[in-house]
């Protein structure tokens, strides 16, 4: 391991340790998780028309999609947002990071994963040799839920076609779902995050491989779990290589 990577791991607060089993073996040993019946309708139909345009979302390039999102009033969150938070990063990214929804910092700045949680995400990415600009970062919801409450099912259903179109355009080789809400929404399950970790799942709407990890905001509150997040990132990196 390079000194640079060691420094990033130190910055994350992770002590370097050697996993008992090589990550590649863990991937080979993956047993598909039995997913529960869907409880939240995923708005997977990107051909639906929005009220404020005659163009289907499935025909929109990324810039036009961003404009659509900025004008969206499809759910009540539009009334309380400062601005929409569309997504950021490399449109040809191999990794797509998907979180839950904008928080206060994101709502203010219009960019996902900024503030302390964003800095930790950046450090986590660097620990596996990635810069923030190498990946694409987005959320399930593009507008901030008041008080950072969990997204309501109908809000997620209304907003998901935007995320699906982002995934269709970017075509990431892997989606890293960070946090319980993002993982449960993408995988349509209520299985615990602990059980979802360490497996390669699939997002049905786009067929994309999905690996699950903790949300950086949770890691800030529970720093002992950072080691597991690093383990997840290594697993994701191996999974990308495996599914080339
Ligand atoms: Fe539209 Fe999504 Fe914002 Fe709701 S959260 S208003 S669906 S962009």
Give the residue whose CA is nearest to atom 2 of ligand 1: 159
Q: Which regions of the chain are under pLDDT 50?
A: 16-45, 47, 49-52
What would the two tokens of residue 121 be?
């995400």
Q: Is 142 in the pocket of ligand 1 (CB under 6 A)?
A: yes
Strands ordered across the beta sheet of 136-139: 88-89, 136-139, 95-99, 174-178, 208-213, 201-203
Give the residue whose CA is nearest to atom 7 of ligand 1: 159
pLDDT for position 37: 32
**In what helix (H) or strand (E) does residue 95 lie, and over which residues does it extend?**
strand 95-99
How far apart CA 161 and CA 164 sit, in angstroms, is 5
Q: Is 84 in the pocket of ligand 1 (CB under 6 A)?
A: yes
Q: CB-hemisphere CA count at 13 Å for 230?
A: 25
pLDDT for position 241: 87
Give the residue whose CA is nearest to atom 4 of ligand 1: 75
- Counting from 1 in the atom list of ligand 1, the atom nearest the Cα of 151 is 5
The reported pTM is 0.83
pLDDT for position 20: 41
Give the residue whose CA is nearest to atom 3 of ligand 1: 143
Q: Is 69 in the pocket of ligand 1 (CB under 6 A)?
A: yes
Q: Is 75 in the pocket of ligand 1 (CB under 6 A)?
A: yes
Ligand 1: which of 84, 87, 161 to mutate, judged by most atoms within 8 Å of the beta carbon? 84
Question: How many other CB atoms sit within 10 Å of the CB of residue 234?
Answer: 17
pLDDT for position 13: 60
pLDDT for position 55: 80
Its sign, for the CA torsion 143, 149, 150, 155, is negative
């Amino acid at each position: 391991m390079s000194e640079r990577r060691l420094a990033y791991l130190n910055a994350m607060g992770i002590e370097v340790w050697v996993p008992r089993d090589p990550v590649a073996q863990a991937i080979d040993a993956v047993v598909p998780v039995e997913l529960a019946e869907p409880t939240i309708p995923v708005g997977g139909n990107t051909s639906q028309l929005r009220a404020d345009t005659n163009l289907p979302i499935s025909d929109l390039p990324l810039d036009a999609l961003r404009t659509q999102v900025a004008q969206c009033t499809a759910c009540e969150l539009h009334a309380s947002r400062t601005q929409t938070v569309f997504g950021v990063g490399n449109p040809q990214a191999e990794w797509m990071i998907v979180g839950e929804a904008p928080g206060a910092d994101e709502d203010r700045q219009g960019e996902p994963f900024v503030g302390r949680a964003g800095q930790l995400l950046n450090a986590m990415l660097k620990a596996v040799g990635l810069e923030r600009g190498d990946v694409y970062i987005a959320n399930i919801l593009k507008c901030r839920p008041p008080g950072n409450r969990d997204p309501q099912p109908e809000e997620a259903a209304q907003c998901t076609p935007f995320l699906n179109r982002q995934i269709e355009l970017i075509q990431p080789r892997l989606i890293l779902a960070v946090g319980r809400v993002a993982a449960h929404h993408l995988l349509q399950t209520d299985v615990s995050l602990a059980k979802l970790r360490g497996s390669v799942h699939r997002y049905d709407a786009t067929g994309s491989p999905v690996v699950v990890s903790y949300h950086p905001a949770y890691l800030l509150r529970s720093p002992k779990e950072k080691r597991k997040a690093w383990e997840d990132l290594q697993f994701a990196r191996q999974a990308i290589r495996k599914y080339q």
